Chains A and B, each alone.
Chain A
């Protein structure tokens, strides 16, 4: 079966750094997405990785290791508005997105 694993919930402090991990087992791989979803709102795109390595975009970076079936989202200089769920999604061999349940990130002052 296809499986995406992420921690259910994480807590971090404003101004700190947090790393949200995602491991996947899918039938094929055509890329991995990270989306942000604030409570009661729609998911919004953060990043797409298809090659190994780190991609940086402002305060957010996403890392991929295809051989390990692993990705992480790194958030720096955390702000209160970063409190949200972070969804990992993998594009399988049929180019269908398989979604994780998301990691709820709580930022404390």
Chain B
């Protein structure tokens, strides 16, 4: 059973398009995250939700909009894609939101903007 799953795994698209990435966790966790890992391998937090409520919203262009329909799902919609959005996007979840809990990561979505 996959604990944290993301779709799609690969996404190749043109500049200016709008795309969504979906994430689901079946661990019963309360907190979910979106990270961006660029070519230099830095993991940067983008958003965090706890029980469907936004708790972390880093300095991210407002072209990126997360949505959490329930605590098991956290989707990421990206408008007007740009070349610099090319990266691997990881979804993660943890039991709580204090930060000390282990985070479980999904397999990643490799986004390439042409």
Indicate if the CB atoms of B40 and A96 lie closer than 8 Å. no
Query: Contacts A42-B107, A44-B105 given: A85-B41 contact, CB under 8 Å?
Result: yes
Say yes or no: B43 contacts A99, CB within 8 Å: yes
* A40 proximity list for chain B (CB < 8 A): 108
- Report the interface size for chain A: residues with CB under 8 A from the other chain: 21
Instruction: Given A41-B107, A96-B56, verify A48-B102 contact (CB < 8 Å).
Output: yes
* A106 is an interface residue with CB less than 8 A from chain B: no
Once bound together, how far apart are the Cα atoms of A35 and B100, in whole Å?
13
The size of the chain B interface, using a CB distance under 8 A, is 20
Q: B44: CB under 8 A from chain A?
A: yes
| Distance of B98 from chain A, by nearest CB (Å) | 6
Interface assignment of A79: CB less than 8 Å from any CB of chain B? no
CB pair A95–B105 under 8 Å, yes or no, is no
- Residues facing A in B28-63 (CB within 8 A) are 40-45, 56
30 A-B contact pairs sorted by A residue (CB < 8 Å): A30-B100, A31-B99, A40-B108, A42-B4, A42-B105, A42-B107, A43-B90, A43-B103, A44-B105, A45-B102, A45-B103, A45-B104, A48-B102, A85-B41, A87-B43, A91-B100, A95-B98, A95-B99, A95-B100, A96-B45, A96-B56, A96-B99, A97-B45, A97-B99, A97-B103, A99-B42, A99-B43, A99-B44, A100-B42, A101-B42
